[in-house]
Structure 1
Amino acid sequence: MAHITHDHAPRRGILETIMSGLNGVLESLASIAENSHRMREIERLQALSDDELAARGLTRQGIAHHVFRDVYYV
């Protein structure tokens, strides 16, 4: 019968630990952005046809500027 006297669990290197933490932060930021009301507005406007955008006085290139107009001066 064999007996185990110690554990050989692999250790995580410092780079792997840092990258894991950074990945978690980036996933959190992506989740925040995806759930933003501004991102939902951009997606809604992008789903419109060019004619529908033109009726609203918008172009595809101007969607982000329109949605963020109160936050950024461009």
Structure 2
Amino acid sequence: MATIASVDRPSNGFSGAALLAPFRAVGRFMIMLAEASPQMKALNRLSQLSDQELAAKGLTRDGEVRRILGGSAAL
């Protein structure tokens, strides 16, 4: 059996979280921008369709991803 012990140490006023906070904020902002793009919205709509629904329309998932992303689909 494993035992975990935690030790509370008094803080000296410096917090690694405070140092990382600006980087986390920038990261969250970049994710927000990416999710707001029309391409991402179209990809989200595509992901909600089943393969059967796409086949009924004569489409393939791969083809639709290429159409949505255009030249950046090769990345």
Cα deviation for residue 57 of structure 1 reads 2.0
- Matched residues in 2 for 1:17 and 1:48: separation? 42
Cα deviation for residue 11 of structure 1 reads 4.1
TM-score by length of 2: 0.61
Distance 1:57 1:30, change over 3 A: same
Cα deviation for residue 66 of structure 1 reads 3.4
TM-score by length of 1: 0.62
Give the % identical residues.
Answer: 21
Q: How well do the aligned residues superpose, as a CA RMSD in angstroms?
A: 2.2
Larger radius of gyration: 1
Distance 1:51 1:73, change over 3 A: closer
Aligned residues, how many?
61
Unaligned runs of 5+ residues in structure 1 are: 1-9
Unaligned runs of 5+ residues in structure 2 are: 1-11
